[in-house]
Amino acid sequence: MNITADAVKQLRERTGAGMMECKKALVEAAGDLDAAAEAMRKSGLAKADKKASRVAAEGTIVVEVSADNQAGVLVEVNCETDFVAREVDFVAFAKAVAATALAQRLDTVEAVLAADGGALDERRRVLIAKIGENISVRRFELLTANGQVGAYLHGSRIGALVAVEGGDATLAKDLAMHVAASSPQYLDAAAVPGDVVAKEREILVEQARNDEKNKNKPEEILVKMTEGRIRKFLGEITFVGQPFIKDPDQTIEKLLASASAKVTGYARMEVGAGIEKKQTDFAAEVAAQVAAFKA
């Protein structure tokens, strides 16, 4: 089976394992990246599965919060190049999308573009014609709170919102900053789907089984041996279980308890997350353009 160099590279980035181990795992998994990563973890070859959202598309993230701090929106607007992502009219359009979504409390991209007689969609089309790149409103998220919404924007590529009951404005902003930096997958352990926990336990038990020190140990003992690592796993992927970025000695859960506060929701966006960008040979592209010009 033909395994591409790019597939091997992706598996190396996910697992931290060597090139030959990655290629062998991909061959055995018939090219399935997820299956290969899981098999390597079970065999102990992988340090961890470092899979993250593929960040490739260009654009900007805009954060907008209402005057009473009880609602906020995150918007991602995409374009084709980083140069256009910094262009004044493009940035102004992205901010207009966020302002409209927040003011009218809209809940879909389609509704935002159709608002005010489709004014934003028309503005988008005009911008495409002017700039010469495809521009799209990829997604946005509206968050409301009975208390307050904290917001944080890291440059123009990562943004976060957190809905908090109790605490103060500083806490709300700190929590949003934490979300932007640590990207928790779930709010708390109760929110983690059972199949996610079951899969992690299966992997950890298999790792324990493959350890020479644990040969001939009964299954129930192997399962018990993994419970501490399961708790660590849940702490790493849940918002309240993570160490607070400004004070790693305390978890978010303890920080909230000390402030008599509660997180009721959160959102995070990163430009291009989940979009795979086409890889191009820059030298070949320039050569092609030169050839076309000569013709």
Q: Digits of tens for pLDDT over the chain (295 positions)?
A: 788 988 888 888 788 777 888 889 999 999 999 899 888 888 877 766 665 444 337 999 999 999 999 999 999 999 988 999 999 999 999 999 999 999 999 988 999 999 999 999 999 989 988 888 889 999 999 999 999 999 999 999 999 999 999 999 999 999 999 999 999 999 999 999 999 999 998 998 888 888 877 777 888 888 888 888 999 999 999 999 999 999 999 999 999 999 999 999 999 999 988 776 655 555 665 566 556 555 5
* DSSP reduced 3-state for 2: coil
The verdict on 145 and 70 lying in the same domain is: yes
The verdict on 156 and 238 lying in the same domain is: no
The verdict on 175 and 193 lying in the same domain is: no
The verdict on 103 and 161 lying in the same domain is: yes
Residue 9: predicted pLDDT: 82
Domain-located, residue 144:
yes
- Give the total residue count for the chain: 295
Q: How far apart are CA 172 and CA 162, in angstroms?
A: 7
Overall domain count for the chain: 2
Helical packing angle, 5-15 and 33-43, nearest 10°: 40
The verdict on 148 and 237 lying in the same domain is: no
Domain-located, residue 293:
no
The verdict on 75 and 144 lying in the same domain is: yes
Domain-located, residue 152:
yes
Residue 67: predicted pLDDT: 96
Domain-located, residue 292:
no
The verdict on 47 and 193 lying in the same domain is: yes
Token pair 């950890």 in the structure block, residue: 204
Eight-state DSSP code of residue 127:
H
User: Smallest Cα–Cα separation from 167: which of 150, 155, 180, 152?
Assistant: 150
The verdict on 168 and 216 lying in the same domain is: no
Query: Domain range spanning residue 10?
Result: 5-53+187-262
The verdict on 83 and 226 lying in the same domain is: no
Residue 54: predicted pLDDT: 41
User: Smallest Cα–Cα separation from 141: which of 96, 88, 102, 93?
Assistant: 102
The verdict on 177 and 244 lying in the same domain is: no
Q: Are 104 and 115 in contact (CB under 8 A)?
A: yes
Residue 53: predicted pLDDT: 41
Backbone angles phi, psi at 26, to 5 degrees: -65, -40
* DSSP reduced 3-state for 61: strand
Kindly give the pairing relationship between strand 58-65 and strand 148-154.
unpaired
The verdict on 38 and 141 lying in the same domain is: no
Residue 88: predicted pLDDT: 95
Q: From the CA atom positions of the chain, what is the Rg in Å?
A: 23
The verdict on 78 and 165 lying in the same domain is: yes
Other CB atoms within a 10 A radius of the CB of residue 147 amount to: 18
**The domain spanning residue 165 has which CATH number?**
3.30.479.20
| pTM exceeds 0.85 for this model | no
Please name every residue paired with 159 in a beta bridge, in sequence order, or none if there are none.
Answer: 153, 269
Domain-located, residue 95:
yes
Q: What is the dihedral angle through the alpha carbons of 139, 144, 147, 149, rounded to the nearest 10 degrees? A: 20
Q: How far apart are CA 93 and CA 126, in angstroms?
A: 11
